[in-house]
Structure 1
């Protein structure tokens, strides 16, 4: 086993030497690593003085964890350039042929590049975080406990693995360093959006959910590493010089896969459509499972958290709430809205929803697309729980809606 892992270190050692001898790579990383904690410390000092005017102790206590999250992110974005040129950069410099001709397996080459790409930004991020903690302790700020610091360090590690693994995939598929750098926005933007959700968890102090976030980021990282290794081909790196959009080939390939060489519509339904449904059955099962989990989770959350609010509510508040949802079980007058429910309106509305989910998923490794679906479907469980808390049986309302939707 050790003999198979030893070549990974040889590739990583070669890559590390190549980085350390280029001062243009080291200087921005060193400057950002050492200077950004001081800038964040100045910001924290001014922000604390501002919060003291309003006695906002909660925000002040959560300032250090939020700052650690930001400080750990910026060195990774700078070091991302190194991972982006892992393969395509060597191809442009003409040094990739000796590497690819070495008696190494594809996964050994890939993990060697990945190892250096992860270690370099992590060293910079950990150094920045430790330096900031030393500076923050001098401002008498609330330092997070050891368990929360462990979460923040693990979250920084997960971000580094995620971004570097995605950058290696881009480097393998790109034909030039310029193209790889342009595609880096599809890494930085989704992770920045992800960090906004993690920042909300930090400010709310929800440590348990943050563990799930760390596990989710690591899971996506492993999937990206698996995709990168499966698509890594030495001949592909050496033989391709430039990619151009061939619309004729795209249309021809789409028509060929869509028709499946079927001669008649009946033949298409019997063979092509059935085979396509078989391929998407695992995905349909997974999405259905997610729907069930989301409905159950929202139902349980409303039952556990809103029950106390309903129990302590005044009779007037209960009456107002019942009146506001009393029309849920009543069907609308179709004669009033039939002008708005045309076929074109429904088609455009559904197309817009699918397009938004598609675009959100495309820039977030499908995470945001699934989240939009989860938020929408989870309303069913929340509404069921709320109706039960108010003493209303939700099942007749649910079945009446289903029957009306099916035309019964």
Structure 2
């Protein structure tokens, strides 16, 4: 094992020496790592003084760990240029050919570049965080709790690896530094949105959610590293001269994969849709496991936020709702059908969009959230000893179509991430991505959308009448 990793270590040292000799790389990192924390310390001090006048010190206390995370993020975003230049820059300077002509394996070259590109951003981030903490101590500002500090330190490390991994993938596929820099927005912007969401979690003081964010970010970072190693090919790096947008070629790749060799709808299902469905067996099992976790989370949330109702109070609240159900649904079935169908389809499309940027990881959140609601409802009914028949009548008639559709759509999103992380020596990342999207589209058009149509019809035309029948109305 060490024999195979030794060339990686040698290449990493060579890259680090080149970086340390370039003052244009070192100086911005040092200035940002040493200067930016002082600005954040001053901000914290001013916020503490301001909020203490109005008795809102908890706001400033939550601001301290948030700025700690921001201080760690900025050096990474600035030094991301190191990763973006790792392959594209050397190609422009005509210095990459000697490296690619060495007996090193493709994965050794890529891993050496990846490690060297990660080290400087991490060191800059750690230095900035250390200066920030020392500034807090010198100003007499209480440090964040150890658990929060540990979470932020781990989050910063994993986010650095994730961002650098994505930047190196872009650099290995781009033909110029300019193209790589333009594509870097697809890295910086999603991570910036992630940090904003993490800030909301911190302000709410939800430490457990941050652990889940850590796990999800780690999975994405590992998948990004896997994608780079899987699709790096030295011949393609040398042979790719210019990026050309080819809509016609992209449509041909997509349509050929979507259509297969079928010449009729029946043949399309047999030779294209069902074989793709069989490949979703493992992702579907994963989605079922995630759904079970969602049910457990929903049941657990009832223990955290108990809702207890007496029988008389439950009946008092349910009678107006039954009448509202009759007035809202009966006589407006067509409008409800379209509304329900579009709502379900919109959620699954959102799951696909989120999954594309996160290799399917965040794409599982909609179905997990839905199952969490079901778990909360089931636990609520159990605790309050409510009859199950009306509730099951509200869920099961259309649920037997909706739930399989959601599982299939989410499994197809997970399959996109798995496909991108699978080696494909004869295909570019663009071709792999287009084929993966075509497989997702086959499942959506051939199975998911018909199931959603049936589910919306049942939920709009049949379920309300069954509920009123069970309730004796």
- The normalised TM-score by structure 1 is 0.88
From 329, 333, 340, the equivalent of 1:338 is: 333
Show CA shifts across 1:24-48 (max 9, x none): 2222111111110110011111101
Q: Distance in 1 between matches of 2:204 and 2:63?
A: 12
C-alpha contact (below 8 Å) 1:322/1:390 kept by paired residues = no
Q: Distance in 2 between matches of 1:265 and 1:60?
A: 62
Q: Distance in 2 between matches of 1:329 and 1:294?
A: 32
Show CA shifts across 1:54-76 (max 9, x none): 22232333333222111101100
- Match in the other structure for 1:62: 62
From 394, 397, 403, the equivalent of 2:391 is: 397
Q: Distance in 2 between matches of 1:198 and 1:322?
A: 41
C-alpha contact (below 8 Å) 1:190/1:364 kept by paired residues = no
Pairwise mapping of residues 140-179 of structure 1 onto structure 2 (< 5 A)? Answer: 140-179=140-179
C-alpha contact (below 8 Å) 1:170/1:183 kept by paired residues = yes
Taking structure 1 as reference, are residues 328 and 391 closer, same or farther at Cα in structure 2, changes over 3 Å only?
Answer: farther
Q: Unaligned regions of 5+ residues in structure 1, if any?
A: none
Pairwise mapping of residues 243-322 of structure 1 onto structure 2 (< 5 A)? Answer: 243-302=243-302, 304-307=303-306, 310=308, 319=313
- Match in the other structure for 1:194: 194
Q: Unaligned regions of 5+ residues in structure 2, if any?
A: 399-454, 467-473
C-alpha contact (below 8 Å) 1:106/1:233 kept by paired residues = yes
C-alpha contact (below 8 Å) 2:347/2:366 kept by paired residues = no
Give the secondary-structure state (helix, strand or coil) at the position aligned to 1:62.
Answer: helix
- Match in the other structure for 2:91: 91
Q: Distance in 2 between matches of 1:274 and 1:339?
A: 32
Pairwise mapping of residues 201-280 of structure 1 onto structure 2 (< 5 A)? Answer: 201-280=201-280
Q: Distance in 1 between matches of 2:104 and 2:124?
A: 30
Show CA shifts across 1:61-120 (max 9, x none): 333322211110110001111101111111111111011111111121111111111110
How much does 1:167 deviate? 1.0
Q: Does 1:381 align with 2:380?
A: no
- Match in the other structure for 1:48: 48
How much does 1:250 deviate? 2.5
Q: Distance in 1 between matches of 2:374 and 2:323?
A: 14
How much does 1:346 deviate? 5.8
Compute the RMSD of aligned alpha carbons: 2.8
C-alpha contact (below 8 Å) 1:189/1:363 kept by paired residues = no
How much does 1:184 deviate? 1.2
C-alpha contact (below 8 Å) 2:299/2:379 kept by paired residues = yes
Taking structure 1 as reference, are residues 196 and 120 closer, same or farther at Cα in structure 2, changes over 3 Å only?
Answer: same
* Equivalences, count: 401
- Match in the other structure for 2:128: 128
C-alpha contact (below 8 Å) 1:84/1:177 kept by paired residues = yes
C-alpha contact (below 8 Å) 1:88/1:171 kept by paired residues = yes
How much does 1:237 deviate? 0.3
- The normalised TM-score by structure 2 is 0.77
Q: Distance in 1 between matches of 2:117 and 2:360?
A: 24
Give the secondary-structure state (helix, strand or coil) at the position aligned to 1:117.
Answer: helix
Taking structure 1 as reference, are residues 76 and 147 closer, same or farther at Cα in structure 2, changes over 3 Å only?
Answer: same
